[in-house]
Amino acid sequence: MCKKKLSNLKLLCLVIPVLLAGCGEPISQPKGMLTEELNCPEGSNPEIERWGGVGESSWLKACKMKHGTFTGWHNETKQVEGEYRNGKKEGVWRVWSEDGRLQKEISYENNKEVAVREFK
């Protein structure tokens, strides 16, 4: 009886991951999309992402530009925050240490670093 329960448990441990992962074919990006070149304007980058609902096989390739507030986190701690304007860093960017202390402020004008203020 114990051997039968143990083998059923092993079988269950093998089947559950397959069910959770799904049995369908992985959806890959069209080869033509990967070879097609985009001429993105300065400050933007080509990006490929899924387009459509779950289970759809549509893809989007577009030039994307960062604009607005950028915030980077590591675990539960904010690490960096600043502004992008038309794909370029602008204004004061703040950088924090892993323990949450403000380490530095970096000022940017048109994506160029113009001043750095460090904190101890």
Cβ atoms of 119 and 106 closer than 8 Å: no
CA atoms within 13 A on the CB side of 53: 0
16-33 pLDDT, tens digit per residue, is: 554 555 555 556 767 777
Beta bridge partners of 105: 94, 117
49 vs 30: CA distance, rounded Å: 12
Q: Rounded to the nearest 5°, which phi and psi values hold at 9?
A: -65, -40
3 vs 89: CA distance, rounded Å: 64
Instruction: Domain ranges for the chain, please list them.
Output: 30-65, 66-120
1-16 pLDDT, tens digit per residue, is: 555 555 666 655 555 5
